[in-house]
Amino acid sequence: MARTFTRLSIALLFICVIITWHLQGPSTRTVPETTSHDKRSILPDENEPISMAAESKLDNQEPPKPAVTPDGARVVVNLSESSASWYLRGDTTGNERFYRTLIAEMTDKEVYLSADLGRAAREFVFQYTELSKEPPTDIRNFLLEASGALAADTSFQHLRTNSLRSKALQRSIASIIDHPPDGDGPLVVGVGEVFTPGRQTKRHIGVVGTRLPVRLEPVPRRLELNSQWTLQGQLLASFRQLKALVLHPGNKDSRVPVDVQGDRFTVRIATGDAQGEIRVQLVGEGPRGPGKLFQLTAYVGVDPPERYVTTLPVSESHITDADAAARYAARLLNRDRRRHGLSALQWDDRLAAVASDHSRDMRDQDFFSHRSPTTGLHSARLAQAGYRASTSAENLALNVSLQEAQSGLMHSLGHRLNILSTRVSHVGVGVVGEELEDGQRRWWVTQLFAKPVVRIDTAEAESKIVSAINRARTQAGQNPLKRSRPISRIAASVIDGERRDLNTLTQRVLNQVRTQGLLRSKTRAWAASVPDFEALQLPGFARADRVQSVGLSVRQAEDSTGAITVLLVFSQ
């Protein structure tokens, strides 16, 4: 009875779709077939689903496929359903209830069904039928957000069939359950179906899968000016050191603290007085290393968009080997930096070698993570290679297109910060290819950023610090400080003994000064550790009017970080 009712519902839905098609006519839409982290084809059974291409061979009266949108073309993406006004408030339909029952019959694994992801799946397959090719990553992100879906890295399966049986659904869902996307937390799936007109029924099934390490309460997609955007939820995976990265209207970055109480978290973001798009990404240290938990986009003072305009990537058919792919990926990265008024990063062969090894490690060992089971995090890989960096960072991507990989990284706030960082000067990109069953190739991409350690002359650095202090004092109308040689010698002996704990440094130097009878009524010690000399910011009390002398010492670590420690002692 349930199967008969389902088929009747599908038939009625098909009639409605045909009526809507003839009333509205075709529209210009685009949608993804696959995500950057998983691409597997589903081959039909010999006795049921047949692809559109195979079916056209059986019936020469089949309407021709729509023309494929050319590479580099401007595309207007119109939603087939109105843009969602909330995240995570999708209505559960009879179809969702049927899908949930079907999943429960298929597997004992922990799998959750999302109505919002189901809506995204409908958008995916409906708009895929209009484009006749895989659209870029930026369109996929737009469709997920417009559907009100919460997703991390996703996998997508699209099956075209002329069968109305449940077996086609089961096979599509099983492909995601058996090969879930990378990530932490339980697997969440969305299922959507679209029927297109023709001589024979064309059934398009889409399944979207994601792993979510959080359970988030519904949040609006439109926010008021000068209000507060509050995100609350529950952690479903072991993440620590949480922080929220925010991109405000006008491309202004900020970091917002995350209040964590047990497994509950709250983020409060001030919307400000500027209209436009606002994005937030929650990041932290997870079981597989640093990573994002989720990212949301909302709109301050304006409604969420109903359409999206973009330009499709140009062909990359000229890229045939890993070295060419890596150089091309680096050019795309530096192009984005120049678009934001930043200088290009310098290519570094040593960084590229470390990055290539990690990309190859991920491909060969079939994992996608900053933390390798064999080499650890990128800092350990740099140290193993003997590369000394005062600052370093790493981005990862997995995509069939290098342009889409870069687009996805720029959309993700944490990766975007690395790409647009002013604290790094060099980059190495490692890319390895993988041939897929459907004939395509996907690229495993590692971007490795660094500022190489520059050896400093500590005596010269000490002189520069004293000069900088006295310039600041002169500008403030204060007398220059004299350098105390005796206290400087004490500071040098203390800093050579212990440079890790800054509080210990200041306490020890004051004790030594007191022991040697050099402690005056007002003596103050200050210590700092910085990755490079340019990052040093001197304390404001160095300009105090009663300060008369300063003793100091500077040392640089011999390890891979080359960190610089500065110890200052001010006396009246």
DSSP state of 534: G
Q: Is the dihedral of CA 395, 399, 405, 409 positive or negative?
A: negative
Give the domain 316-452 fold: Pathogenesis-related Protein p14a (3.40.33)
Q: Residue 535's pLDDT is what?
A: 85
Measure the CA–CA gap between 188 and 488, rounded to whole angstroms. Answer: 61
Asked if residue 9 has pLDDT above 50, the reply is no
Q: Residue 500's pLDDT is what?
A: 61
Q: Residue 71's pLDDT is what?
A: 86
- Model confidence over 20-62: pLDDT tens digits? 333 233 333 332 333 333 332 222 232 233 233 333 333 333 4
Measure the CA–CA gap between 62 and 233, rounded to whole angstroms. Answer: 50
Asked if residue 19 has pLDDT above 80, the reply is no
Cα 24 from chain centre: 38
**For the chain, how big is the Rg over CA atoms in Å?**
29
- Model confidence over 477-486: pLDDT tens digits? 999 999 999 9
Its CATH architecture, for the domain 216-307, is Sandwich (2.60)
Asked if residue 218 has pLDDT above 90, the reply is yes
Any idea where the domains of the chain sit in the sequence? 73-213, 216-307, 316-452, 458-571
* Average confidence (pLDDT) over 204-232: 97
Q: Residue 559's pLDDT is what?
A: 84
Asked if residue 464 has pLDDT above 90, the reply is yes
Q: Which of 63-67, 415-419, 496-500, 536-540 has the highest mean pLDDT?
A: 415-419
Say yes or no: do domains 216-307 and 458-571 share a fold.
no
- Model confidence over 387-442: pLDDT tens digits? 999 999 999 999 999 999 999 999 999 999 999 999 999 999 999 999 988 778 99
Q: Which CATH number fits domain 73-213: 3.30.300, 3.40.33, 2.40.160, 3.30.390?
A: 3.40.33
DSSP state of 65: P
* Average confidence (pLDDT) over 54-75: 57
Q: Residue 60's pLDDT is what?
A: 35
pTM: 0.80
Q: Residue 77's pLDDT is what?
A: 93
| Percent over 90 (pLDDT), the chain | 67
* Average confidence (pLDDT) over 279-295: 94
Token pair, residue 224, equals: 């008021």
Long-range contacts of 374-380 (CB under 8 A, 24+ apart): 377/289, 377/290, 378/354, 378/448, 379/560
Q: Residue 521's pLDDT is what?
A: 65
Superfamily name and number for 458-571: CAP (3.40.33.10)
- Model confidence over 146-168: pLDDT tens digits? 999 999 889 999 888 888 888 99
